[in-house]
Amino acid sequence: MDHKKAVVLVSGGLDSATALAIAADQGFVCHCLAFDYGQRHRSELNASKRISAELNAAAHKLVKLDLQAIGGSALTDISIDVPESDLVVEDSGGIPITYVPARNTIFLSIALGWAEVLGATDIFIGVNAVDYSGYPDCRPEYIAAFEAMANLATRASVEGQCFNIHTPLISMTKQEIIKRGLTLGVDYGLTVSCYQATESGLACGRCDSCQLRKQGFSAAGVIDPTRYK
Amino acid sequence: MDHKKAVVLVSGGLDSATALAIAADQGFVCHCLAFDYGQRHRSELNASKRISAELNAAAHKLVKLDLQAIGGSALTDISIDVPESDLVVEDSGGIPITYVPARNTIFLSIALGWAEVLGATDIFIGVNAVDYSGYPDCRPEYIAAFEAMANLATRASVEGQCFNIHTPLISMTKQEIIKRGLTLGVDYGLTVSCYQATESGLACGRCDSCQLRKQGFSAAGVIDPTRYK
Nearest-Cα distance to chain B for A173, in Å, is 22
Residue A224: pLDDT over 70: yes
Pure H helices in A71-172: 103-118, 140-153, 155-158
User: What's B161-216 look like in SS3?
Assistant: CCCEEECCCCCCCHHHHHHHHHHCCCCHHHCCCCCCCCCCCCECCCCHHHHHHHHH
Better-predicted residue by pLDDT, A50 or B154: A50
In degrees and rounded to multiples of 5, residue B72 shows phi and psi of 90, 5
Q: Is B137 on the interface with A (CB under 8 A)?
A: yes
Does residue A225 form part of some domain? no
Range scoring the smallest mean pLDDT among A62-66, A111-115, B104-108: A62-66
Rounded Cα–Cα distance for residues A203 and A210 (Å): 7
Residue A130 structural domain: 5-220
Query: Is residue B183, in this structure, part of any structural domain at all?
Result: yes
* CATH number of the domain residue A48 falls in: 3.40.50.620
- What is the C-alpha to C-alpha distance for residues A32 and A44, in angstroms, rounded to an integer? 14
Across the interface, whether the CB atoms of A117 and B69 are under 8 A apart is answered no
SS3 of residue B123 by DSSP: strand
Residue type, B202: L
pLDDT band at A41 (very low <50, low <70, confident <90, very high): confident
In a domain, B228, yes or no: no
> Is A101 within 8 Å of B117 when comparing Cβ atoms?
yes
* Interface contact A67, partner B, CB < 8 A: yes
A101 interaction partners in chain B (CB closer than 8 Å): 112-114, 116-117, 154-155
Average pLDDT per consecutive 10 residues, chain B (229 residues; last block may be shorter) = 83 96 97 86 90 96 85 60 46 56 92 92 93 80 96 81 94 96 96 89 90 94 93
- The answer for residues whose C-beta is within 8 angstroms of residue B79's C-beta and 6 or more apart is none
- Which residues is A185 bridged to in the sheet? none
Reduced to 3 states, what is the DSSP secondary structure of residue B24?
Answer: helix
pLDDT surpassing 50 at residue A158: yes
Nearest in space to A26 (alpha carbons), one of A163, A128, A151, A124: A124
- Residue A169 in any domain: the answer is yes
How many degrees, rounded to 5, is the angle at CA B63 between CA B60 and CA B68? 140
Domain assignment present for residue A134? The answer is yes
CA distance B200 to B180: 27
Number of domains composing chain B: 1
Contact of B170 with B129, CB cutoff 8 Å: yes
Q: Could you tell me the pLDDT band of residue A180, with boundaries at 50, 70 and 90? A: very high
Q: Which DSSP letter does residue A134 get?
A: T
Q: Is residue B226 included in any domain, yes or no? A: no
Query: B59 — contact with chain A (CB < 8 Å)?
Result: no
Q: Is A160 on the interface with B (CB under 8 A)?
A: no
**Residue A190 above 70 pLDDT?**
yes
Cα(B100)–Cα(B70) distance, integer angstroms: 10
User: CB–CB of B145 and A149 under 8 A?
Assistant: yes
* Whole-number pLDDT of residue A74: 58
**Band of pLDDT at residue A91, cut at 50, 70 and 90:** very low
Q: Which residues contact B170 (CB under 8 A, 6 or more apart)?
A: B127, B128, B129, B138, B140, B143
Q: Does B91 touch chain A (CB under 8 A)?
A: yes
Residues B142, A159: C-beta atoms closer than 8 Å: no
pTM: 0.89
**Do A10 and A20 touch, CB atoms closer than 8 A?**
yes
Contact list in B for residue A67 (CB cut-off 8 A) is: 113
Residue type for position B179:
K
| Chain A residues inside the 8 Å CB shell of B155 | 91, 93, 95, 99, 101, 136
* Residues B12, B44 contacting (CB under 8 angstroms): yes
Chain A residues inside the 8 Å CB shell of B67: 113
Spatial separation of the C-alpha atoms in residues B45 and B33, rounded to whole Å: 10
CB B33 within 8 A of CB B63: yes
Residue of A nearest to B37 (CA): A65
Residue A84 lies in a domain: yes
| Residue A144 scores a pLDDT above 90 | yes
Contact residues, chain B, for A154 at CB < 8 Å: 101-102, 136-137
Q: CA of A60 to nearest chain B CA: how many angstroms apart?
A: 11
pLDDT at B79: 60
**Angstrom distances, CA of residue B74 to CA of A181, B71, B93, B104, B138:** 41, 9, 16, 16, 18
A136 in a domain, yes or no? Answer: yes
